[in-house]
Amino acid sequence: MKLMVDEENRAVTDVSEALPAAEAAPGAADSSPKMRARGVNVWYGEKQAIKEVSIDVRPEHVTAFIGPSGCGKSTFLRTLNRMNDTIPSARVTGEIELDGEDIYSSGMDVVQLRARVGMVFQKPNPFPKSIYENVAYGPRIHGLATGRQELDAIVERSLKRAGLWEEVRDRLTESGTALSGGQQQRLCIARAIAVDPEVILMDEPCSALDPIATAKIEELIHELRGRYAIVIVTHNMQQAARVSQRTAFFHLGELLEYGETSEIFTNPKVERTKDYITGRYG
Amino acid sequence: MTDVPARAPTDWGSSEMTGRIARRYAAERRFRWIGLGAILLSAGFLALLLFTMVSNGARGFTRTEVRLDVDFAKAALFLDPATVRASGDKAALAGSDLQNVVSKAAEARYGPKGARLFADTAWLEVLDAIESDPSILTRTATLWLPASTGVDIAAKRASDAEAERTYEGLRAGNAVRTRFNSGFLTSADATDPAAVGVWGAFKGSLLTMLVTIAIAFPIGVLSAIYLEEYAPRNRWTDLIEVSINNLAAVPSIIFGLLGLAVFLNVMHMPRSAPIVGGLTLALMTMPVIVIAGRNAIKSVPPSIRDAALGVGASRIQVVWHHVLPLALPGILTGTIIGMARALGETAPLLMIGMRAFIATPPGGIADPATVLPVQIFLWSDEVSRGFVEKTSAAIIVLLVFLMAMNGVAIYLRNKFERRW
């Protein structure tokens, strides 16, 4: 689908071009987006869940999607690695590119796409297998390791990056489901980064966790930022402000505002955003 | 804000309240007693069934033996012990008139009706005795030979006066004993109740079940996977779902007719063979496995599928690596139920000819055979009174078979069950 810019509504959606110098994050000089969405619409049957969303996801940045419940943040997130394909009634139009390559084109292999665009879910969902197997599963099915030693190294590195290694190094054979909620979520993050993705999508990764586990995950997101492009959906305003460099505000399936997190939180340009952030709405 | 009238404070101690509480407790107690009663009633019925079966059937596993001294030297068999020992001279042994030797010896010992004390097949045991120790041919040997059905019944329960008298006479002379009947577990059907065995039917059942599970399990599980994981939701899949549910409720004899029409009349498969019985029962078992499999697959949390898809697993990898292992315990439970039903099934097998009298155990799935429930049905129909205990004994064998099968399935299920 061609990019159709409705000037009134969309003038603010693509402010990334307008604010090139204000980046605080490392790697800001790289102005080519990692993922680029143009005029994306999603329907569930007759109901339109996402309306004409255009957004750029920058590499080595954390992008937060905020907005009231049912506004389509998660739906949009799931279009970025085609997880909506599993819902029979879902239909996606528009263009989404990963490194300039259309991910909905017939040439794109969805299995490879999901390896390149990893995902962490709202509820920690480790496989009912050992901790080791949880992390090794992705590299194994994609053939990323040639031998046991290499696989061991990948598992160790992934668990270290996810900040879980010290806690589980002596019990890698125990079931992943025996860990605490926060540890399970970090295990899921380790599982996602074990296949060396370029983008990590996180769908409210802390909503089922206590504050301490949440703080650990946020810390982890900070550390991962330099390596991956991270997109995080969150209901927690403070979290969005803490972890992200850029924030997108969704409302009723539309992207109302997108820009620097500091800008969105201190000086929102759209009235609705201001109402939502200040807690008067949503 | 004050337009709602203030409510009078609730009096928790009022008689109305205490009465309500008392009624609530009474209802709870009543329900508990009724539930307990239901459990006790069903347990009682089960105990009664097992007690009747075991007390009747235990006697089916034993046989009565009568003592007989045979003087082989006098019997003029013209058999040389050395030859028999060296060559196992079976032809000479079988050709010799052992039947006559037995009846002669019996008449000499127990009077003119003596031959009637022994089973028709008693001479076979004499043959076995000679084979195992040819030296007895030169002397008088004491053998315990199977009693005739009349004596056997008299030994086991109330019989007619004459048989009772004969039995009492034998017992007084210490000429009768009761032993475990190993032949019942190793031989096949026979016309003489003293010689029947359950091995033929057991093996038939085993082969039939193997065919059934080999056909029904893979097809059932693959259908369930396809319907749950791949098939689009539309009118066709709805139709298939309704059809499968209906198929599971179809009376089993209809499947027998189907087997008769398709496997025998169209495909010309061998009559009375375990292959046909197994195919027919597989048709019957498949819908049960499909339904159980679909439910088990449905109960695998979608978050596991998401997790696997999220790291880039293909659909078939999601199914084989995650969904199927987690659904397997549930699928196995369904399979147990289906197989147990198939094992106890009689009607459809009667339709495809598995009720024939077959005196040799089947050697393979294409040989004529019968199965345990059909064997029980046939024996229960026999007029000869010696079959009563045999029927109960066969029922015990069937129940043990069933329990063993369920035990294996439960073991497998527990092995594959994962804790969350």
DSSP B256-269: HHHHIIIIIIIT-P
Identify the pLDDT of residue A125: 92
Please tell me if residue B233 touches chain A, with a CB cutoff of 8 Å: yes
CA distance B363 to B45: 39
List the one residue out of B169, B157, B146, B165 whose CA is nearest residue B63: B146
CA distance A73 to A207: 14
Residues forming a β-bridge with B66: B145, B176
Identify all chain A residues contacting B308, using CB atoms and an 8 Å cutoff: 127, 137
Identify the pLDDT of residue A237: 87
Identify all chain A residues contacting B305, using CB atoms and an 8 Å cutoff: 86
Taking the CA of residue A119 and the nearest CA in chain B, the distance in Å comes to: 5
Domain boundaries, chain A: 7-20+33-277
Identify the pLDDT of residue A31: 61
Residues 6+ apart with CB under 8 A from B130: B72, B79, B84, B93, B136, B137
pTM, whole model, 2 decimals? 0.79
**From its phi and psi, is residue A253 left (phi > 0), alpha (psi between -120 and 50) or beta?**
left
Residue B161 has pLDDT above 50, yes or no: yes
State the pLDDT confidence band at B88, using cuts at 50, 70 and 90. Answer: low
Identify the pLDDT of residue A63: 93
What are the C-alpha distances in Å from A93 to residues A7, A43, A52, B321?
20, 9, 9, 32
Are the beta carbons of A114 and B233 separated by less than 8 Å?
no
Taking the CA of residue B214 and the nearest CA in chain A, the distance in Å comes to: 29
Please tell me if residue B305 touches chain A, with a CB cutoff of 8 Å: yes
Taking the CA of residue A211 and the nearest CA in chain B, the distance in Å comes to: 23
Closest partner CB to A86 (pick from B232, B309, B322)? B309
CA distance B161 to B155: 12
Token couple for B99? 């039947």
CA distance A50 to A62: 22
**Alpha helix (H) residue ranges in A65-207:** 73-79, 110-116, 131-142, 148-161, 165-168, 181-193
Residues 6+ apart with CB under 8 A from A30: A58, A59, A60
Q: Classify domain A7-20+33-277 by CATH number.
A: 3.40.50.300
Residue of chain A nearest B231, judged by CA positions: A88
**From its phi and psi, is residue A192 left (phi > 0), alpha (psi between -120 and 50) or beta?**
alpha
List the one residue out of A71, A18, A66 whose CA is nearest residue A252: A71
Closest partner CB to B311 (pick from A128, A177, A192)? A192
Are the beta carbons of B311 and A111 separated by less than 8 Å?
no
DSSP structure class, residue B270: P
Taking the CA of residue A274 and the nearest CA in chain B, the distance in Å comes to: 32
* CATH 1.10.3720.10, domain B199-416, yes or no: yes
Identify all chain A residues contacting B307, using CB atoms and an 8 Å cutoff: 121, 125-127, 188, 191
Q: What is the pLDDT of residues B326-379, one digit of tens each?
A: 999 889 888 988 999 999 888 999 888 888 888 888 888 888 888 999 988 988
Identify all chain A residues contacting B314, using CB atoms and an 8 Å cutoff: 111
Token couple for B139? 């002397």
State the pLDDT confidence band at B159, using cuts at 50, 70 and 90. Answer: confident
List the one residue out of A154, A134, A132 whose CA is nearest residue A143: A154
The enclosing H or E element of B396 equals helix B387-416
Question: How do beta strands A47-57 and A229-233 pair?
Answer: unpaired
**From its phi and psi, is residue A67 left (phi > 0), alpha (psi between -120 and 50) or beta?**
left
CA B121 remoteness from chain centre: 27
Residues 16-55 of B with CB under 8 A from A: none
Domain boundaries, chain B: 71-181, 199-416
Please tell me if residue B147 touches chain A, with a CB cutoff of 8 Å: no
CA distance B394 to B202: 9
Taking the CA of residue A270 and the nearest CA in chain B, the distance in Å comes to: 34
Residues forming a β-bridge with A40: A53
- Out of B281-290, B296-305, B354-363, pick the least confident: B354-363
The label of the residue with tokens 């029947």 reads: B196
What are the C-alpha distances in Å from A169 to residues A120, A131, A186, A194, A220?
22, 10, 14, 16, 18
CA distance B183 to B176: 18
Taking the CA of residue A205 and the nearest CA in chain B, the distance in Å comes to: 13
Identify the pLDDT of residue B392: 86
Are the beta carbons of A125 and B317 separated by less than 8 Å?
no
Interface of A with B (CB under 8 A): 81, 83, 86, 88, 111-115, 118-121, 123, 125-128, 137-138, 141-142, 175, 177, 188, 191-192, 194-195
Per-residue pLDDT of chain A (282 residues; tens, 9 = 90+): 444 444 444 444 444 444 433 333 333 334 678 899 999 999 998 899 999 999 999 888 899 999 888 888 889 999 999 998 888 888 899 999 998 889 998 888 888 899 999 999 999 999 999 999 999 999 999 988 888 999 999 999 999 988 899 999 899 999 998 999 889 999 999 999 999 999 999 999 988 888 888 998 899 898 888 889 999 999 888 899 999 999 999 988 889 899 999 888 888 888 888 888 887 765
Residue type, A61: H
- Is residue B188 within 8 Å of B361, Cβ to Cβ? yes
Q: What is the pLDDT of residues B378-387, one digit of tens each?
A: 888 877 777 8
Are the beta carbons of A175 and B419 separated by less than 8 Å?
yes
Taking the CA of residue B336 and the nearest CA in chain A, the distance in Å comes to: 25
- Is residue A81 within 8 Å of A114, Cβ to Cβ? yes
Identify all chain B residues contacting A115, using CB atoms and an 8 Å cutoff: 311-312
Q: What is the pLDDT of residues B52-82, one digit of tens each?
A: 888 888 888 888 888 888 877 776 666 666 6
CA distance A211 to A217: 10
Tell me phi and psi for residue A95, to 5 degrees: -120, 130
Residue of chain B nearest A89, judged by CA positions: B233
Please tell me if residue B307 touches chain A, with a CB cutoff of 8 Å: yes
Are the beta carbons of B307 and A141 separated by less than 8 Å?
no
Identify the pLDDT of residue B32: 97
Residue of chain B nearest A178, judged by CA positions: B420
DSSP structure class, residue B3: -
Please tell me if residue B304 touches chain A, with a CB cutoff of 8 Å: yes
Burial class (CB in 10 A: 0-12, 13-18, 19+), B364: exposed
CA distance B176 to B169: 9
DSSP B123-180: HHHHHHHHHH-GGGGGSEEEEEEEBPHHHHHHHHS---HHHHHHHHHHHHTT-EEEEE
Are the beta carbons of B420 and A177 separated by less than 8 Å?
yes
What are the C-alpha distances in Å from B156 to residues B59, B121, B122?
7, 20, 19
What are the C-alpha distances in Å from A183 to residues A169, A253, B193?
13, 33, 70
- Is residue A147 within 8 Å of A178, Cβ to Cβ? no
